Amino acid sequence: MRTIPLGSSTLQVPVIAVGCMRIKSLSLDEANRFINESIEAGAYFFDHADIYGGGTCEEIFSKAIGMNDDVRERMILQSKCGIRKGMFDFSKEHILQSVDGILKRLQTDYLDVLLLHRPDALVEPEEVAEAFDLLESTGKVKHFGVSNQNPMQIELLKKFVRQPIAANQLQLSIAHSGMISSGINVNMTNESAINRDGSVLDYCRLHDITIQPWSPFQYGFFEGVFLGSEKFPELNKHIDEIAEKYGVSSTTIAIAWLLRHPARMQPVTGTMNIERLKDCCKASEITLTREEWYTIYRAAGNVLP
């Protein structure tokens, strides 16, 4: 598996992150097999959040793998905090309590990466800075990042937070590519020209922040997957043709499309099917041509100006 640096840090991570939101659908034996085979495939970066399964996903993960020091050294663990029932909470107290809960459930002394989960409208960045300093000084968290934040929200954090923002987890797929389309349709009056995220893609590239695309197979907000969907006949036709050329699955090509972007992204998968995850991992070995990338982009219904 190819690796990239996470943001401006020295931490080298696989280009594929394994999302664990659905791991509670597996038995402990199934989860053990899935985790171990993921690691063997080179996908040893596991993405969690304290709200996944109300915390049970982290518990199942650590119990299934039989977490101990030797096991811990084989993986990179990322988790997220900040979402509470009916609100978001980036207060110092909540961040610290959340991390303690995450570490207990994952049965580990530290997280490699902690992300703030979606923006909190009432954020007081001074408190975030205090929380990050405590977590770093006590060794509980090594690297920090955010999710679903725009450039100005990150700039506000950076005014107070000492630690580099290593990652920004954002929804992005072939069929949900607004952050790319707005950059292509600059100065146009069509729908695609609307800049909804403050040019977050270019911002992250400028500031060495790794974009972690979530829901890389979804269209809309969890409306469904585009692969095999009758809503995207042209897109699937071209993906299948390119997949046949490379001798891989359509799943592989959908991830390869994201990895072809020079932003050096790290897609977060959501599958609990080890064969499908292996198909995702194969994308790290493929570099689509410029023509293939644009063919897929246009086949998704995107029109070039």
What does the DSSP assignment read for 41-93? TT--EEE--TTGGGGHHHHHHHHHHT--HHHHTT-EEEEEE-EETTEE---HH
pLDDT tens figures, 170-185: 999 999 999 999 999 9
Which of 260, 263, 303 has the alpha carbon at shortest distance from 284?
260
- Only one residue has tokens 């197979």, namely 217
Region 238-258: mean pLDDT is 98
Share of the chain above pLDDT 90, in %: 99
pLDDT digits 0-9 by tens, 188-240: 999 999 999 999 999 999 999 999 999 999 998 878 999 999 999 999 999 99
In this predicted structure, what is the pLDDT of residue 221?
A: 82
Average pLDDT over every residue of 98-127: 98
Q: CA 9 to CA 299: how far, in whole Å?
A: 36
Average pLDDT over every residue of 91-117: 98
What pLDDT is recorded for position 223? 85
Q: What structural domains and CATH numbers belong to the chain?
A: 3-299 (3.20.20.100)
Determine the 3-state secondary structure of 221 from DSSP.
coil
Q: Mean pLDDT, to the nearest integer, of 137-153? A: 98
Query: What SS3 state is found at 139?
Result: coil
Identify the DSSP state of 209: -
Q: Each residue of 47-100: pLDDT tens digit?
A: 999 999 999 999 999 999 999 999 999 999 999 999 999 999 999 999 999 999
HSE (CB half, 13 Å, CA atoms) of 238?
Answer: 19
What integer pLDDT is reported at residue 217 of this predicted model? 97
With a threshold of 0.95, does the pTM exceed it?
Answer: yes
